[in-house]
Structure 1
Amino acid sequence: MSTMTQTLLAATALSAGIAAATVAHSSELPADQAVRNVVLVHGAFADGSGWRGVYDELSKRGYRVTIVQNPLTSLADDVAATKRALDRQAGPTILVGHSWGGTVITEAGVHPKVAGLVYVSALAPDAGETTAQQYDGFTTPPEFVIDTQADGFGFLNLETFQAGFAHDVSDADAAFMRDSQVPINMSAFGTRLEHAAWRTKPSWAVIATEDKAFDQKMLFGMAKRIGATITEVAASHAVFMTQPEVVSGVIDQAAQSAGRAVR
């Protein structure tokens, strides 16, 4: 057998091994696991592409993952977009929200397909409350500055964007995030919620301990009020991007736990 033939056979075997390992890793969910669907909801100043790392991690584990693209034009519009995604799920689903997305999943999470909620450095108002009320009594770190435009939409300040939103990403990535941010209609923060899904659905919370968008006491206070199982991780407000393994691990735990309840 020639050296070239041996090399080709070795390369083929290696490729086959990698392919087999990939297939095995992409279907790790037990056949009897009840919750196999995840819907991810982004927050203000971002879009769904920030969930790519979490999407990849969960997909490898065997979950069917759907990412909502919030218009950020009103709470009602974002809830409608989320419910549209939930309607398409084949069964029980874990609903995940980052930041403002927490308000959205709190309202939309009463959907019958939602088995559990995961708040990723996220807001968690009660029914009858507004998002803005959650800030009462707390001091927002000075790095997080919102510039409201004449039309009522807000952008994060260009000068403080990286420090306030994503200090743990590269300068190049922070610049791209800054210049591609999606503004939110600031009036959404003053809209009262009609429902609080966390009152009837089990909840989990990932809290970024270096988050500069919220007072840490505010984050822990909300998570404790809703009875969430809390996981702490050293990360910026962009924890949904910078810590995909941790976030995915909590979502996986939520799916397993909620799944036992829906059997």
Structure 2
Amino acid sequence: MLAFPQIALAALAALPLTLSVLNPAAAPSVATITAPPAGTGVKNIVLVHGAFADGSSWAKVIPLLEAKGYHVTAVQNPLTSLADDVAATKRTIALQNGPVLLVGHSWGGSVITEAGNDAQVAGLVYVAAAAPEAGQTFVDMTQAAAPPLGANSFKPDAAGFLSLTHEGTLNDFAQDLPLAERELIYATQGPWASSAPTKDKISTPAWKTKPSWYIVASEDHMINPDLERMLAKRINATTLVLKSSHVPMLSQPAKVAAFISEAAEKVVVK
């Protein structure tokens, strides 16, 4: 489960800690998608987790989708770089029998923005997720809005990896989950290479050519919900707003699964 941090780290001291509001005159172009011939949806759904997490962050959503007859696979990303995470995602895509709906949470949005160019991918679903432009890093993208409430929920280690603080996990990352679940997230989190959000840039955004869906988490403390709304509009996404923390797939799994299922039914396959 990743976040959209304004990371207050010595290692990232060169980055601006005060984010400027996007200048509408300089805003990147909105995606323009050419409608492909009519299709019948997809049965393969690949789920991409965000930072500080693994594939089990989708554990509440997977059985709901499988009950509807979908073949669901959760990627296990190393969180060491965008390139490494994209490679892991593309290996999973290659194992699917037929077209794929690619779903990403938080940092996983950056991953699907790049990996979604794979010819097997028919559509993209962003869940409180990054959707950078070409040439943007994760942090570059966050400069389109004010810092989120949980901007200081991260701490670095000596090797250059980031972890969630205990306070940040409980109060900002997953504040609408029961305490036991929040403690579990803190205890099982995976470190995220600090170079990934600050140095790794998107080459060609898949959302410019693939139909997209977006879940805005209106109570998100890790990504400014205003930024999420802006991203959803920019990528021309079918949008659902949930009153949720940064992890709607854990706090409102039924609604997230229903939205993903709707996208899988409606996506047209070339």
TM-score range with shorter-chain normalisation?
0.7 to 0.9
RMSD between aligned alpha carbons? 1.3
Identify the range of structure 1 (160-169 vs 54-63) with the bigger mean alpha-carbon deviation.
160-169
Separation in 2, partners of 1:143, 1:42? 19
Following superposition, which runs of at least 4 residues in structure 1 exceed 3 angstroms of deviation? Answer: none
Question: Percent of aligned pairs with the same residue?
Answer: 46
Question: Which residue of the partner structure matches residue 121 of structure 2?
Answer: 114
Q: Deviations over 1:68-99 (max 9, x none)?
A: 01100110110001000000111111000000
Q: Does 1:131 align with 2:138?
A: yes
Alignment of 1:68 onto 2:85: no
- Helix, strand or coil: the match of 1:179? helix
1:17 match: none
- Structure 1 alignment gaps of length 5 or more: 1-31
Alignment check: 8 A CA contact 2:48 2:74 kept: yes
Q: Deviations over 1:121-180 (max 9, x none)?
A: 000001211111111142223334111222110001112211111111111111111111
Which whole-Å CA distance do the structure 2 matches of 1:198 and 1:34 have between them? 18
Matched, 1:227 2:229: no
CA contact (8 A) 1:36 1:255 kept: yes
- Indicate the SS of the match to 2:171: helix
- Whole-angstrom distance in 2 between the partners of 1:170 and 1:117: 30
1:13 maps to what in 2? Answer: none
Q: Distance in 1 between matches of 2:121 and 2:243?
A: 28
Contact 1:110 1:197 in 2 (8 A): yes
Tell me the distance in 2 between the aligned counterparts of 1:228 and 1:150: 39
Residue matched to 1:210: 219
Structure 1 distance, partners of 2:118, 2:80, is 21
Shift of 1:111: 0.6
Question: Which of 1 and 2 has higher RCO (CA within 8 Å, sep 6+)?
Answer: 2
Aligned equivalent of 2:182: 174
Output the CA distance in 2 between the equivalents of 1:108 and 1:143: 28
TM-score by length of 2: 0.82
Matched, 1:50 2:57: yes
Quote how far apart the aligned CAs of 1:216 are: 1.5
SS in 1 for 2:167: coil
CA distance, structure 1, for counterparts of residue 65 and residue 144 of structure 2? 37
* Structure-2 change in CA distance of 1:230 and 1:34 (3 Å): closer
Aligned length: 230
8 Å contact 1:140–1:212 — kept in the other structure?
Answer: no
1:4-15 pair list within 5 angstroms? none
Can you list the C-alpha shifts for 1:184-207, whole angstroms capped at 9, x where unaligned? 001011211112000000000011
Unmatched 5+ residue regions in structure 2? 1-38
The reply on whether 1:247 has 2:256 as its aligned counterpart is yes
